[in-house]
Amino acid sequence: MFKSGTRRLFFRLLFLLLLGVGFVIAWHRLRFDGEAFLETLRQFGPTSLGTGLVIVLVQIAFQISRLWVLCPPTVGVSWRQAARSFTSGQFVGNFIQGQAGHAVKVAVLRQPANAQGRQMATAESTAIVFVDKVMDILMLLGLTGLAVLQLGLLARSWRYFDHNLLWGIPVAAVAIAILIYVLRRCSGRIQRGLADFKKGLAVVKVPMQLGQGITMGLGDWFTEGLLLQVLCVAQGFPLSPAQLMVSLFILNVGISIPISVANVGTFEAALIFALTRFGVPLVQGVAIATLFHLYQMLGIALWMLVMLPKNVKAEMQG
């Protein structure tokens, strides 16, 4: 029998093998022209590359700020601490283990009572990270819904999932009822944890904090769409705001289940699928998706380096 770590490594290696075989098959069946791909990459001039780097750094700053403004003012979390929490979590999630990234955010965000403010327990920091993620998802769904209505896709696609949706409503209701029952039967220790968790959820009752979080979230999605548009324009295939939003939605659905390190392969495949639906040729779509993913990883790595504690930087330089 495989141990859990060995089994995980086996399946990841198997996925990478199958991914490589799939690329080879696609290369031959689609007659993917390697020289054309390299020529396409050359179309990204210094201006578009530099602009893209600035945009992704600003985007991550919006993400950090959203997490920071959701923290209770009485705790006294600094922007730098929120930045360390977010960047370290994203770095671990991207390059090591996807689900571990959220735990790292929670661990870095929590703090004991100090001169800046009161203690933030693990359960409370978990709630804040949870609210941050839920807000991010809800804003994506809301913006995508507006984009779908603008593109007129809803009426055409409704017939494909209306029956499944009707079946899904009672199933979801039963699942929620079971979850509520289990939570009510929790032990006293878990209930105390839930009390701390509720402290973090209290942010949704504060209009000022909630509004600031929504503003930072809008800035996050706007800059991500702007980055994608810069890359599309560099290739001569600009998209409308609605098309950009739908493309980002398809991308996030494609990477919602992490099956490879840094979502390599699934990220590109999902975005290529979305771009080609809106008229971007395959070769240009591959180039845009590859560079877009590279920017996301590079941006986190740069912010991670900037936010490292001074003692860690000294050890690295020594």
Instruction: Summarize pLDDT for 201-219 with one digit per residue, the tens.
Output: 666 677 888 889 889 999 9
Q: Which amino acid is at 53?
A: L
Rounded CA separation 220/288 (Å): 19
* pLDDT surpassing 60 at residue 310: no
Taking the CA atoms of residue 37, residue 229, residue 260 and residue 129 in that order, the dihedral angle to the nearest 10 degrees is 170
The two tokens of residue 14 are: 């198997």
Q: Is 241 a member of any domain? A: yes
Q: Is 304 a member of any domain? A: no
The 10s digit of each residue's pLDDT in 90-107 is 888 877 766 678 888 988
- What letter does residue 117 receive in the DSSP assignment? B
Q: Is 98 a member of any domain? A: no
Q: b or e along 253-290 (b: 16 or more beta carbons within 10 Å of the residue's beta carbon)?
A: ebbeeeebebbebbbbbbbbebbeebebebbbbbbbbb
Q: Is 53 a member of any domain? A: yes
What confidence score (pLDDT) does residue 18 get?
61
Q: Is 146 a member of any domain? A: yes
> Domain span at residue 202?
34-61+122-294
Q: Is 69 a member of any domain? A: no
Helix (H, G, I), strand (E, B) or coil at 192: helix
* pLDDT surpassing 90 at residue 221: yes
- What letter does residue 70 receive in the DSSP assignment? T
Rounded CA separation 215/203 (Å): 15
Q: Is 92 a member of any domain? A: no
The 10s digit of each residue's pLDDT in 68-94 is 999 888 888 889 999 999 998 888 887
Q: Which is it for the CA torsion 52, 54, 60, 62, positive or negative?
A: negative
The 10s digit of each residue's pLDDT in 240-256 is 999 999 999 999 988 87
Q: Is 282 a member of any domain? A: yes
The 10s digit of each residue's pLDDT in 21-70 is 555 555 554 455 556 667 777 888 899 999 999 999 999 999 999 999 99
With CA atoms as reference, report the closest residue to 123 among 212, 191, 213, 186.
191
What confidence score (pLDDT) does residue 115 get?
72
Q: C-alpha distances in angstroms, 215 versus 23, 26, 43, 220?
A: 40, 42, 34, 9
Which long-range contacts link 203-211 to residues 24+ away (Cβ below 8 Å)?
203/70, 203/72, 203/128, 203/131, 204/131, 209/69, 209/70
The two tokens of residue 84 are: 């360390």
Please give the model's pTM, rounded to 2 decimal places. Answer: 0.75
Number of domains in the chain: 1
